[in-house]
Amino acid sequence: MANAMNSKVTISADLAKVIGSGPMGRMDVTKVLWEYIKKNNLQNPVKKSEILADANLKVIFGKDSATMFEMTKFVNKHLTAIPKA
């Protein structure tokens, strides 16, 4: 039985521009999002818990930056659970 973090989700078109299209597990969403953040050097070098939004992430966050904890809340709005068969 899969837990909530492994359950498959569909990804909004806006988030798909950042991490690709789904479906994928919630843990995979987080992993790929962090890869994007690191690849594009979007972590604040002074305050490591802050993510600096580029144009794509600004659409997801709705603002110029977000903490790691806020990021999860914003990303969740772009995920839809796939009902289990």
Tens of pLDDT, residues 48-82: 999 999 999 999 999 999 999 999 999 999 999 98
Pairwise pLDDT comparison (17 vs 4), residue with the higher score: 17
Is the backbone peptide bond immediately before 45 cis, with ω within 30 degrees of 0? no
Question: Residue ranges per domain, the chain?
Answer: 8-81
Residue 71: which residues within 8 A CB-CB, separation 6 or more?
33, 51, 61
Q: Are 46 and 65 contacting, i.e. CB atoms less than 8 angstroms apart? A: no
Predicted confidence (pLDDT) at residue 3 exceeds the cutoff of 80: no
* H-assigned helices in the chain: 13-19, 26-39, 55-61, 68-76
Classified by CATH at the fold level, domain 8-81 comes out as: MDM2 (1.10.245)
Per-residue pLDDT at 85 exceeds 90: no
- Mean pLDDT for the chain overall: 91
Strand, coil or helix: 20: coil
